[in-house]
Amino acid sequence: MKNQTAPPSLSATIADAIRSDIVEGRLLVGDRLPSEAELADQHGVSRATVREALKRLAAQSLIRTERGAFGGAFVNHLSYDEARAQQVTTSTLLLGMNAISFQVACEARYALERSCTALAAERRTEAFLATMRTEITTQSAPDLSDEAFCASDVAFHRALVDCAGNEVLSYHLAGSVEAMQPLMNMITFTARSRAEIIDLHRAIVAGLEIRDVASVDRALATLEAYTITLGQSVLKARATR
């Protein structure tokens, strides 16, 4: 019979040990780990096993390796970009693999996005407003593909999120917004639906400009409802086909 809980492999165990050292601060950013040969000795395993453990950590951006003399594995400085990329991968897979209804995903995404409106209205700068207006212009091009429209839509919302002037908030929200893109790409945007969306984007920018949080929230709520409608019509069309 198969073990229900297979014992973790040596490489997984070693990876976990080093991971704790990093997460709990016993290894600091920039610190160099012992060489693979030394780690192999310390843990009483072969170099191949140590390497597999290190690759696991590298996959999480916890360490980076450099070749050559005085090279080795170093505790990596996790940048916002790396962290965001990881979060987007994880979130995208989670949405794609769990038969989550479009409505639930959308509800979560807009609920989260609304959490930045108050700060964004308070701190909005001309630069971010200009970015949003540029994206609105892009979205208005009549010969734009659905994918390009979606991409610009994501860029617009990213600008809205960044406008709140809080990097940590941006990181979390970027993950939730970008992970929705594959789901959004299912939707075919007609000229009419694009016009509606663009109108709501304009309303968001206008609201930010006069720092009217309530109107921004209203526009986002309308956008949420409209997006869910679009998503449901896609599903209905698929069901009858």
Partner DNA sequence: GATTTTTCATTTGTCAGACATTTAATTGTC
Partner DNA sequence: GACAATTAAATGTCTGACAAATGAAAAATC
Query: What are the residues binding its own copies (CB under 8 A)?
Result: 2, 6, 11-12, 15, 19, 22-23, 25, 29, 48, 51-53, 55-60, 62, 66-68, 77-78, 80, 83, 86-87, 89-98, 100, 104-105, 107-109, 111-116, 118-119, 164, 166-169, 171-173, 175-176
- Helix H, strand E, coil C: the string for 51-97 is HHHHHHHHHCCCEEEECCCCCEEEECCCCHHHHHHHHHHHHHHHHHH
Residue 91, binding choice from DNA, its own copies, none, Cβ under 5 to 8 Å by partner class: its own copies
Residue 134 binds which entry of DNA, its own copies, none, CB below 5-8 Å type-dependent: none
The length of the chain in residues reads 241
Q: Which residue has the tokens 């929705």?
A: 180
Measured CA to CA, the distance from residue 88 to residue 174 in angstroms comes to 8
CB of 31 vs DNA, minimal distance in Å: 13
- Long-range Cβ contact pairs of 93-102 (< 8 A, separation 24 or more): 94/179, 95/179, 95/180, 95/182, 95/183, 96/182, 102/183, 102/228, 102/231, 102/232, 102/235
Q: Does 9 bind DNA (CB under 7 A)?
A: yes
Quote the least distance from Cβ 27 to DNA, whole Å: 14
| Tokens matching residue 88 | 């987007």
Indicate which single residue of 45, 83, 112, 213 sits in contact with DNA (rule: CB under 7 A).
Answer: 45
Contact status: 51 vs DNA (CB under 7 A): yes
234's contact among its own copies, DNA, none, with CB below 5 to 8 A by partner kind, is none
Q: Does 97 engage in binding with DNA (CB under 7 A)?
A: no
Q: Which amino acid is it at 177?
A: V
Residues 19-38 that bind DNA (CB under 7 A): 33, 35-37
Q: Please choose which of its own copies, DNA, none residue 108 contacts, taking the beta carbon within 5 to 8 angstroms, the exact cut-off set by kind.
A: its own copies
Cβ nearer to its own copies, comparing 179 with 198: 179
Member of 49, 76, 131, 227 binding DNA (CB under 7 A): 49
Q: How far is the CB of 187 from its own copies (least distance, A)?
A: 17
Q: Is the Cβ–Cβ distance between 219 and 113 less than 8 Å?
A: no
Q: Are 57 and 19 in contact (CB under 8 A)?
A: yes
Rounded Cα–Cα distance for residues 238 and 151 (Å) = 24
Residues in the site for DNA, rule: CB under 7 A?
Answer: 1-3, 6, 9-11, 33, 35-37, 44-49, 51-52, 54, 65-73
